[in-house]
Amino acid sequence: MMLNDLITILKYEYTVHPGEYFNVDTYWVKNMTEVKTVIIDQDHVFTKMVSFYPKNFVIYLEQFPDQSIYRTNFPLKKIDNSDSHEVVFDETEKNVFEYLD
């Protein structure tokens, strides 16, 4: 899959400004070595990178001095009483055993 094809499937966008906190709870990732990150472009002013997580979850980040833009292929929902978000996976694909250790 080409990067441009990948970016077109990232239809959910979240903008974060300096001082705001943005975190995605990746409870299903057992070890961070499972996450593959590619830095597309980076200098002292901006960063563009994409991270591939298990369960086909993808985050694309464009970071600028005045804001960061996150694009994902699944929607995110803010966790109650938290600054973190959870991924809203397609319920038909959910595996009930993923919650058991």
**What are the residue ranges spanned by the domains of the chain?**
12-88
pLDDT given at position 51: 95
pLDDT given at position 97: 45
Strand extents, DSSP E, 1-101: 12-16, 23-25, 36-42, 47-53, 57-64, 67-72, 76-78, 84-87
**Which parts of the chain sit beneath pLDDT 70?**
1-8, 91-101
The dihedral formed by the CA atoms of 55, 56, 61 and 67, expressed in degrees to the nearest 10: -60
The whole model's pTM is what? 0.78
pLDDT given at position 54: 93
pLDDT given at position 96: 47
